[in-house]
Amino acid sequence: MELIFDLIIFFFLITVGIFLLQEFHHKRRAIFVLFLFFWLAIFYGSFIEPRFLIVKQTSIDLVDSPTQTIRAAVLSDIHVGPFKKADWVSKVVKTVRETHPDVVFILGDFVVKSAADVQWLEPLSKLKAPYGVYAVTGNHEYDANASDEVISALESFGIEVIENETLNLEIKGKTIRLAGVSDIWFEGDVTKTMQNVSEDDATILLAHNPDVVLFDDSRLADLVLAAHTHGGQIRLPLIGPVPALPTKLGREFDEGWFEYNNQPLFITSGVGETGTRARFFNLPEIVEMEIRF
């Protein structure tokens, strides 16, 4: 699919570029301006915007009367493969480190479609944080038959992959329950993940697919962090995502903060692309989240 989209993009840019060169000498300025606008938009969306990387800052209270704060870096959908390789991962890691996070959460989809692309993830070995770096799997790990290779690589980098389980983060004399569910389209088991969580625990649930909130057991979490949607990749002002989103929640839950059954849900649009290489009005993002508990 990526190759097909690339061929379409390059064919458009080349043919319309030739047309613009010819049309420049004619007097049909309206046609020239229209085609120039589309040429610039596609060139920008395909080759300029996807190379930007922004840091989005936000915050959340896990409990009613918080006494401690932790800074988390949240990132997802790195998607190394046809479009982005080790140089991009290095840029992501450098940007995360500049935020000086206490903890790092990576929400799946490390590759696009091949286990061979795991080699481009090596810069993640430089990703460190005082309270650890944690990850869950995404659907592309399984679609590419690369889940074992991805998990093995991440663990060799010192990243803890949480597969349908919970662990405790002891922070400044208080405890956060950190739950991680494998991708729910494949090996994810929300009931197993949350089986040791009580309503009194301050709990963060890491998931790739935001549809995890549709499972009753996920309601034990005080905060759900998810990804998968890419925010649509292609967005338009006042309209939002152009393509349909690959979730049951639908286009209403595209990116940013939401509440589902009174449960806070944050969806990041990620740092990579699949299908087409393009992003439009939707810059790749790392989220710097202040969590008070």
What angle in degrees, to the nearest 10, is found between the helix axes of 2-23 and 29-43?
150
Token digits of residue 175:
């405890």
Q: Do 60 and 83 belong to one domain?
A: yes
pLDDT at 112: 96
Q: What is the mean pLDDT of residues 129-136?
A: 98
pLDDT the model gives residue 249: 98
Q: Are residues 98 and 124 in the same domain?
A: yes
Judgement on whether residues 38 and 16 belong to the same structural domain of the protein: yes
Residues 43 and 109 in one domain: no
213 and 114 assigned to the same domain = yes
* Residue 20 in this model has a pLDDT that exceeds 70: no
Higher-scoring residue by pLDDT: 36, 159: 159
User: What is the percent of the chain with per-residue pLDDT over 90, rounded to a whole number?
Assistant: 86
Q: Do 78 and 212 share a domain, yes or no?
A: yes
Which domain covers residue 33, as residue numbers? 2-49
Q: What are 44-71's pLDDT values in tens digits?
A: 999 999 999 999 999 999 999 999 999 9
- According to the model, what pLDDT value does residue 24 have? 65
In 3-state terms, what secondary structure has residue 287? strand
pLDDT per residue over 249-263, tens digit each?
Answer: 999 999 999 999 999
Which pLDDT does position 150 carry in this prediction?
Answer: 98
How many domains does the chain divide into? 2
Range scoring the smallest mean pLDDT among 25-29, 98-102, 132-136, 177-181:
25-29
- Does the pLDDT value for residue 19 go beyond 80? no
Which residue carries 């939002």 as its tokens? 240
Closest to 158 measured CA to CA, from 192, 121, 189: 121
Q: How confident is the model at residue 135 (pLDDT cuts 50, 70, 90)?
A: very high
Q: What is the DSSP string of 162-200?
A: --SEEEEEEETTEEEEEEE---TTTT--HHHHTTT--TT
Q: Which tens digit of pLDDT belongs to each residue from 168-178?
A: 999 988 999 99
CA distance 63 to 76: 25
Q: Are residues 97 and 169 in the same domain?
A: yes
- Which DSSP string corresponds to 205-248? EE-SSGGGGGSGGGGG-SEEEE--SGGGSBEETTTEESSPPSSS
Sign, Cα dihedral of 198, 199, 201, 202 = positive
pTM over 0.85: yes
The predicted model gives 90-119 an average pLDDT of 97
Do 130 and 24 lie in one domain? The reply is no
Banded pLDDT at 23 (limits 50, 70, 90): low
- Residues 166 and 189 both lie in one domain: yes
> Are 148 and 31 in a shared domain?
no
The residue from 12, 30, 49 where one domain ends is 49
Same domain, 247 and 282: yes
pLDDT of residue 219: 97
Statement to judge: residues 75 and 165 lie in one domain: yes
Question: Once rounded to an integer, what is the mean pLDDT over residues 210-216?
Answer: 98
Mean pLDDT (whole number) for 111-127: 97
CATH number at 158 reads 3.60.21.10
